[in-house]
Amino acid sequence: MALYINGIGCISPQNTFDNTVFLPEVKEYSSNRLACVDADYSKFFDAGSIRRMGRLMKYGTAAGLIALRDAAIETPGAISTGTALGLPEVSQKFLRSLIEVEETIVSPTTFIQSTHNTVSSNIALLCKCFSHNNTFSHKGFSFESALTDAQLLALENIDNILVGAYDEVSDYKYAAMKKTNELMQEPCSNLDIYGQEKNGIIAGEGAAFFVLDKEKNENTYGSFIGNKTFYKPESNQAIKNRILSFLEEHNSSLYDIDVVITGISGAKEVDDTRIELNNTLFKTQTIVAYKHLCGEYMTSSAFAFWLASKMMKIQQIPAAVILENRNRSTKTILLYNSHKHNHSLMLFKAC
C-alpha cells in the first residue's frame, strides 16, 4: 500500500537534523568509525533526562520527535521501529555494573534503558501515544519490517504512523569488527571509499524517522510505494530478476526509474555485485550512493529513505552523493540495499 511521507527526522554522522537544509556541507572523517553529530538535545529534553539517557537513546528519541514536529503532529496513530542491535552501549554498562558488585544490587536504570524497544517506548511516553507500538529486530531487515508493519496498519485505517530505525556503533561492537577484519584499514577517508578497491567497510550509525499516512498535505515529501526483501540470492541474475519482478508488481519498469540509490559501501569484496548491477541493469539511471555519509550498519536503509525523501521534495540531488549523473529528474527513485546476505528494495515516487 502506497503511503505519503509527511514528516522526516534524521540524526546521523552528517548535519541532517535540520530539515530546512539538505546536506549543506559534507563532513569528512579520517576514521573507519563514524559517530552521529548531536543535535541540541535541550530542545527536546530537560537537563535531568539528558544526564540519564545514553547516546542512542538521545539521538534516537530526538529523531522521532523531529519527524513529528516536521509533520505538525503531536501524537502519532501508531509507532513502528526497527533496530538490529538495540542499545548495546547501555546493555554493556549494565553488565559491567553487575560484575563489579558481584551480581548483587545495581541501579535498574541501565537495565530499563537496555531493551531494544526503549527508544520507541520513550517517544510514546513523551508524545502520549498509547496505541500500537512495535519494535522489530531482524538484523538487515529491521527497518524494512517496520515499513511493512506500517503498511498493514494503514490498511486498518490508522493515520499518521511514525516509522523509524536506529542503531549505534558501541565500543564492544567496534572492537569485535576490528578483530574480525571487517573494517577498512586506517587511515581512510569516508569521502574517498569508492573506486579505491579497498577491503573492509566504514562502520556507521544513526537514527531516521518518518510520519507516513494515506493522505498527503502541504508538507508531503513524496510517496513510499512499497518494499521487498530477499535473502541469499543465488546469483547476480537472481538479483536482477527480483528487481524486475518488484517493479512489475508496482506497475513500473526500469524505464520509469530516474534515480537508483545503491547500497555500495566501498568494500571491494561485497561491492562487486552492486557495481555489476550499476553497469548492466541501471545504464540510463542516475546512480546515487549514501554509505560514505553515514557508514555501513544494518539499518542504514533508513538513512537512504531520508535521502530519497529530501530529493523528491527539493527535486535536486546533492553532488556529494552522485556516482553516475544521467541528468534524470528525481520523480521515481529505486533503492537497492544489501547488508551481508540481506537484500532489500524500496520504491518512491514524487507527488
Helix axes 118-127, 55-70, angle to 10 degrees: 50
**CA 97, chain centre distance (Å):** 31
Sign of CA dihedral 87, 89, 95, 97: negative
Task: Please give the pLDDT value at position 262.
Answer: 97
pLDDT higher than 90, residue 257: yes
Arithmetic mean of pLDDT over the chain: 95
Q: Is the pLDDT at 11 greater than 90, yes or no?
A: yes
- CB distance 62 to 39 below 8 Å: yes
pLDDT of 197 strictly over 80: no
Over the stretch 267-302, which tens digit does the pLDDT of each residue have? 987 898 889 999 999 999 999 999 999 999 999 999
C-alpha cell at 213: 499516512
Tell me: the pLDDT tens digits for 150-168? Answer: 999 999 999 999 999 999 9
Least confident segment among 89-98, 114-123, 138-147: 89-98
Look up the pTM and report it. Answer: 0.96
Give 347's strand partners.
226, 334
- At 235 the pLDDT is 93
Q: What is the pLDDT of residue 143?
A: 98
Asked whether the predicted pLDDT for residue 105 surpasses 80, the reply is yes
Mean pLDDT lowest for which of 264-268, 279-283, 306-310? 264-268
Q: What does the DSSP assignment read for 12-43?
A: SSSS-S-TTSS-SSPPP-SSSB--PPP--GGG
Task: Please check the confidence at residue 82 and state whether its pLDDT lies above 90.
Answer: yes
Q: Which residue has the higher pLDDT, 112 or 291?
A: 291
268-280 and 236-249 helices cross at what angle (nearest 10)?
Answer: 50
Structural domains present in the chain: 3-213 (3.40.47.10), 227-349 (3.40.47.10)
Predicted confidence (pLDDT) at residue 238 exceeds the cutoff of 80: yes
Distance CA 123, CA 121 (A): 5
Interatomic CA distance for residues 297 and 184, integer angstroms: 14
| pLDDT for the residue numbered 195 | 77
Checking if the pLDDT of 196 tops 80, the result is: no
CA 73, CA 218: separation in Å to the nearest integer? Answer: 14
Q: Which residue has the higher pLDDT, 58 or 103?
A: 58
- Per-residue pLDDT of 42-78, as tens digits, reads 999 999 999 989 899 999 999 999 999 999 999 999 9
pLDDT at 305: 98
The percentage of residues in the chain with a pLDDT greater than 70, rounded to a whole number, is 100
What pLDDT is attached to residue 111?
82
Which segments of 204-262 does DSSP mark as H helices, in order? 236-249
Confidence of residue 5 (pLDDT cuts 50, 70, 90): very high
In this structure, what is the dihedral angle of CA atoms 230, 135, 307, 171, given to the nearest 10 degrees? -100
In Å, what is the CA distance from 309 to each residue of 18, 314, 328, 347?
A: 14, 9, 16, 11
pLDDT of residue 92: 84
Mean pLDDT in residue range 307-313: 98
- Contact (Cβ atoms closer than 8 angstroms) between residue 192 and residue 32: no
Residue 100 confidence (pLDDT) above 90: no
| pLDDT for residue 297 | 97
